[in-house]
C-alpha cells in the first residue's frame, strides 16, 4: 500500500447555525477575528495560525451534505467543542459573557494542565477558553 503522506492539517472547522446574523454578531463580539468570506448563508473567519472557522446557515449546510443538521433545543449543547488557548483567561471570559455566551463552567484548574472555562454560543456549540498552568 502506498504511503498517504503526513496527516493533513485542519484547514477549516464549520459550524451549522440557526440564525447566521445572530451567530456572526456573537463571534464578531466574542473574538473579533478577521472575516475572510461573507455570504448571506456563510461567514468564514481567518484564525491565527491559518485555520479557519466558518458559520453556515443550516439550509446551506444541508445543500452540501444532503442532510439538515439537527436543531439544538434551548438550553442544550451540541457535541461540538471549540477549545482555544488565550493570553488572558479572565479577559476572554468577560468578552464571551459580554457577547451573550452562556457560561457552562467557570475558570478552574483542569487535570490536563490548563486553567479553562466553558461557554455555549447561541447555537449551543461549546467554547472552551484556556491558559496553560505553570509547571
Eight-class DSSP state of 92: H
- Pure H helices in 1-135: 20-31, 58-65, 89-99
How many CB atoms within 10 Å of residue 76? Answer: 9
**Domain CATH for 38:** 3.10.180.10
**Residue 115, pLDDT score:** 98
Note whether residue 57 is domain-resident.
Answer: yes
Note whether residue 7 is domain-resident.
Answer: no
Note whether residue 17 is domain-resident.
Answer: yes
- Pure H helices in 19-88: 20-31, 58-65
**Residue 2, pLDDT score:** 64
- Could you tell me the pTM of the whole model? 0.90
Instruction: Return averaged pLDDT per consecutive 10 residues of the chain, 135 residues in all.
Output: 74 93 97 95 93 93 87 91 96 98 98 98 97 93
Note whether residue 5 is domain-resident.
Answer: no
**Residue 64, pLDDT score:** 86
**Residue 26, pLDDT score:** 98
Eight-class DSSP state of 40: T
Please name the residue that has the C-alpha cell 475558570. 107
Strand, coil or helix: what is 110? Answer: coil
Query: Residue 70 sits in which domain range?
Result: 12-132
- Strand ordering across the sheet containing 81-85: 81-85, 126-132, 114-120, 102-109
The number of distinct structural domains making up the chain is 1
Eight-class DSSP state of 10: P
Note whether residue 1 is domain-resident.
Answer: no
Amino acid at each position: 500500500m502506498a504511503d498517504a503522506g503526513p496527516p493533513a492539517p485542519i484547514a477549516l472547522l464549520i459550524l451549522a447555525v440557526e440564525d447566521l446574523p445572530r451567530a456572526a454578531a456573537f463571534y464578531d463580539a466574542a473574538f473579533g477575528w478577521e472575516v475572510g468570506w461573507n455570504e448571506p448563508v456563510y461567514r468564514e473567519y481567518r484564525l491565527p495560525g491559518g485555520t479557519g472557522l466558518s458559520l453556515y446557515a443550516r439550509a446551506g449546510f444541508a445543500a452540501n451534505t444532503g442532510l439538515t443538521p439537527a436543531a439544538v433545543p434551548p438550553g442544550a449543547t451540541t457535541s461540538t467543542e471549540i477549545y482555544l488557548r488565550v493570553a488572558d483567561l479572565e479577559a476572554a471570559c468577560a468578552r464571551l459573557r459580554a457577547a451573550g455566551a452562556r457560561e457552562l463552567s467557570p475558570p478552574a484548574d483542569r487535570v490536563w494542565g490548563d486553567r479553562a472555562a466553558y461557554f455555549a454560543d447561541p447555537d449551543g456549540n461549546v467554547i472552551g477558553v484556556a491558559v496553560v498552568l505553570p509547571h
